[in-house]
Amino acid sequence: MTLRTRRCVFYSFILIFIAVGAGVIFYSQGWRPVWQENKIAFQKTGAIFVEIFPKDAEIKINGKIFEDKSGLLKSGTFIDNFLPKNYKIEIKKDGYLAWQKNLFVKSGMVAETGKIILIPEKISPQPISISKNAGTFWEKENKFIFSSGGALYYSSQNEPVKLKGNGFAVWSEDGSKFITKDAANLIYYFYDANNISKATNLNSTFNNLTKTSISEITFHPADSNKLIIKAKNGALYILDLNRLVIETITQKIAISFAVKNPNILYISGNEIHSFNLLLKTDDLKFELSKELAGQKISEISSNGNAIFVLFQNSALYIFNQQNPTGVKIADSVKKSVVSPDNKKLAFWDSKDGLKIYFIEDYQTEIIKKPGDITTLSAYKELGIKNVFWYKDSRYLLVETAKNAVDFIEIDDRQPINKYTLSGNSSNSYYDQNSNRLYFIKENKIRFVEI
């Protein structure tokens, strides 16, 4: 072999090495050759991340089965080498209903399913051990107040105890105290769950201290022995039941108020105020426009940064630093509920059914900007009685006018997965702490764990 031939072979191997090395590098970075428009082009692959509960489910992507690799150290399964296009994801597990979603994988990006909650094929409601039939109920920390035969009862896995009043007002945050009411005479009664035999007439206590009567009442968010009371004259007070003293929040006429720990939000005239329970400061947050100042108010709520006001004309507004004079979210709204993560607001109306309003940037499995609205059209014709947020803020529990409760995701990528948890039931309530859905069925309180 001549020197010239050896040099040609040597340089050829160098060129082959460089080409193969570059190809390996490009391949490891996700680049793949594809045939497009009668020519070869290069595209960077993406990946899919799947998180499932319960684990050990079958993952099928465009018909190909992948192992669920989640475990103690990994919350989900990462699967790569997908060319940019749409993929059909199917999740199956024996004994559970199937889950499906169409995901678009972008070049160099990871498409996420979000946490998938699989629902059992057969759901068997469990009864609560209460001897009496129940018409309606209110639950907190596995304690129950319920109506039966026109009377009100308390039960905590014991024989029901009859209570004063004929209606329920509110639980304390820790579930250790509660207030009932006599709706006809507007009398409120305070109970300690640890001493249910004693009832305190709050009207008498409050009247002795202020010489006025109670209009609305709720518990202090951090102290179950303190109450926040709106008086008949519109003033707001804090009543300390241990020391029997009154603290004035405002003497202004409060049209409406709500508690978002550590603040009390209230509207007086055309002003929205925030009273800090820790610092004892009262700040003017926003002012209502002339158009809104004369409107009656149904409810006020907050996620900590924004304040939501639902007027009696069914118009829902948001007030925040970007919209200090208020921006209308929707008309014909019946009720709204802030999500546990404070990033979303569910509301339902008489026109389009159930909607999700995104309060701030939301970049997880779905990408939403502040002010974006998702419509869950499945409820446009069904009619909605109540809505609860699931504890992870990715799902909703919806009680329909047809006496069923659905479990539905807010991920609007098609198809939207919806499952029925209970049928022929009423008066549903979801407890995030116990992750139980309670409801009345056949005159008994029952529950299912999700």
What is the DSSP code string of 232-285? TTS-EEEEETTTTEEEEEE-S--SEEEEETTEEEEEETTEEEEEETTTTEEEEE
Question: Is the residue at 208 inside a domain?
Answer: no
Question: Is the residue at 95 inside a domain?
Answer: yes
Give whole-number Cα distances, 79 to 92, 306, 366, in Å. Answer: 17, 38, 18
Per the model's pLDDT, the better-predicted residue between 72 and 375 turns out to be: 375
Lowest mean per-residue pLDDT among 207-221, 347-361, 409-423: 347-361
Question: Is the residue at 341 inside a domain?
Answer: no
Work out the average pLDDT over 363-382.
88
- Token pair for 378: 């499945």
Work out the average pLDDT over 22-32.
48
For residue 24, pLDDT over 80 is answered with no
Give the rounded percent of residues in the chain with a pLDDT score beyond 90: 78
Give the count of domains, the chain: 1
Grouping H, G, I as helix, E, B as strand and the rest as coil, residue 216 is: strand
Work out the average pLDDT over 131-136.
92
- Token pair for 269: 């005239």
**Closest-CA residue to 303 (of 319, 323, 288):** 319
Question: Is the residue at 106 inside a domain?
Answer: yes
Kind plus residue range of the DSSP H or E element containing 15: helix 3-28
Question: Is the residue at 296 inside a domain?
Answer: no
pLDDT of residue 71: 80
Domain of residue 95, CATH code: 2.60.40.10
Question: Is the residue at 375 inside a domain?
Answer: no
Per-residue pLDDT band at 73 (split at 50, 70, 90): confident
Beta-ladder partners of 90:
60, 100
pLDDT of residue 27: 46
Across 13-22, 35-44, 48-57, 349-358, the highest mean pLDDT is recorded for 48-57
For residue 32, pLDDT over 90 is answered with no
- Mean pLDDT over each residue of the chain, to the nearest integer: 90
Half-sphere exposure of 219 (CA within 13 A, CB side): 21
pLDDT tens readout for residues 155-186: 987 789 999 999 999 999 999 999 999 988 88
Domain that holds residue 47: 41-117
For residue 101, pLDDT over 70 is answered with yes
Question: Is the residue at 108 inside a domain?
Answer: yes
pTM above 0.75, yes or no: yes
Question: Is the residue at 392 inside a domain?
Answer: no
